[in-house]
Amino acid sequence: MIARGLFAAVALLAAAPALAQQPRPVSPYAPLQDKPSCTRAQLKAATDAYVAGQKAGSLAGLPLHEKAQFLENMTDVPQDKGLWNTKLPVAHAMSFHDDKRCKTFTEVIVTEGGHPYVIGTRLYMHDGKVIRVDSLVTDKGDWLFSANAYLKYTRQEDWTPLPAARRTAPSEMIRGAHAYFDAFADKFTEIPWGTPCARLEGGAYTDREGKPDASCNVGIPAGVLYINNRDLLIDEEMGVINVFCRFGNSVSGTPDSHVFRYIDGKIRLVHTISVTPGPQVDDNGAVIRN
C-alpha cells in the first residue's frame, strides 16, 4: 500500500508541470500591461479627445488600439453600442491622469438635451494607444441620481492642482482608500477623514450649507459588505485616487466609482457613481422622501 501511495504521489508531481503549462484561452482584446508605457501629455490628449468625442458622438479622435476593449457598466459591449456614440451636450467634464499606471478617469455631467447623465469613463493606455474604454453610465433611477445637483456642487468645489507641499504620498492615498472600503466589512477600520470634507454621492451632498466643520464621516451601513475588484488610479498633482470596484460580489456586484481628493494627507472631497437602482435626490442634493 505504501509503495502504491508513493507511486501515485510521484506521478501526480510529474504531471503538475504539464498541467500548469496548459495554455489559457486567447483573449480577443489587447492585454492590460503590468507596467504600461505612457506620458502625461498622451493621457491628457486622450481625455481631451474622449470629451470631444462624447460631444460629437464618436470616438474617432481617440488613438484606439485595433484590439481595444470596450465596457459599459463593467460589461463588454461592441464599440458601436456604447453611449459614446451618442452626441451629448456636456455641461461639465473633469479628468484625472495616472502616468504610472497609464490610466485616466473622466467625469462627464449632462443636464440638458432631455436625458441627464453622470458618466465616469476610464481610458487605459500603452505605447500611445488606448487599449480599453470603460464607462460607468448613470441616469434617472440610479442610486441618489441628480445630474443637476452633481453639476451644482462640482462647480462649487475646488479641483485645482495642488502645490507640492500639500500633496499626499501615493502609498497613503492607497492605504486610505482601502481603509474606506474595508470599513464596510470591518467597522473598526480608521479612515483618514479631513475637515471640512464634502461627499457628492450620485447627487446627494453632505455639505449643502458650506459649514467649516462639515464631515464625510457620516457612518457605514450596518452588516458585512465586501468591496471587490478594486482598480486604482492615482493623480498626484490633483491629490486624487479613483477606484473602480464592485459592491457585494466580484462578478455581479454594483459597478461603482469613488474619487477621493486628498489635501494635506486627509480626504477632503469624495465623488461617487453607483450603477444600481435606488432613492433619488432633488436639484439641491437632498434625498426625496416618498
Is the same domain home to 155 and 130?
A: no
- Whether 140 has a pLDDT exceeding 70, the answer reads yes
Q: Which pLDDT score is estimated for 13?
A: 43
Is the same domain home to 209 and 240?
A: yes
pLDDT in tens, 44-80: 999 999 999 999 999 999 999 999 999 999 999 999 9
Q: Which pLDDT score is estimated for 7?
A: 44
What residues are paired with 107 via a beta bridge? 94, 120
The SS3 assignment for 191 reads: coil
Domain membership of residue 259 as a residue range = 149-274
Is the same domain home to 132 and 225?
A: no
Banded model confidence at residue 21, pLDDT cuts 50, 70, 90 = low
Report yes or no on 65 lying in a domain. yes
Total count of domains within the chain: 2
- Whether 264 has a pLDDT exceeding 60, the answer reads yes
**Of 247, 255, 252, residue with least CA distance to 226:** 247
Is the same domain home to 104 and 171?
A: no
**Of 95, 244, 101, 262, residue with least CA distance to 169:** 262
Q: Which pLDDT score is estimated for 101?
A: 98
Q: Which pLDDT score is estimated for 289?
A: 82
Report yes or no on 85 lying in a domain. yes
Report yes or no on 215 lying in a domain. yes
Banded model confidence at residue 3, pLDDT cuts 50, 70, 90 = very low
Is the same domain home to 95 and 128?
A: yes
Q: Which pLDDT score is estimated for 182?
A: 97
Backbone Cα Rg of the chain: 22
The reported pTM is: 0.90
- Whether 118 has a pLDDT exceeding 70, the answer reads yes
Report yes or no on 228 lying in a domain. yes
CATH number at residue 62: 3.10.450.50
pLDDT in tens, 178-190: 999 999 999 999 9
User: Of 91, 110, 138, which residue is a domain's last?
Assistant: 138
Is the same domain home to 105 and 211?
A: no
Is the same domain home to 186 and 239?
A: yes
Flag the least confident range among 20-34, 116-130, 229-243, 257-271.
20-34
Is the same domain home to 99 and 197?
A: no
With b for 16 or more beta-carbon neighbours within 10 A and e for fewer, the 83-110 pattern comes to bbeeebebbebbbbbbbebbbbbbbbbb
The SS3 assignment for 274 reads: strand
Report yes or no on 203 lying in a domain. yes
Given a contact cutoff of 8 angstroms between Cβ atoms, the answer to whether 122 and 159 are in contact is no
CA dihedral sign of residues 245, 148, 139, 288: positive
- Whether 191 has a pLDDT exceeding 60, the answer reads yes
- Whether 9 has a pLDDT exceeding 90, the answer reads no
Is the same domain home to 267 and 167?
A: yes
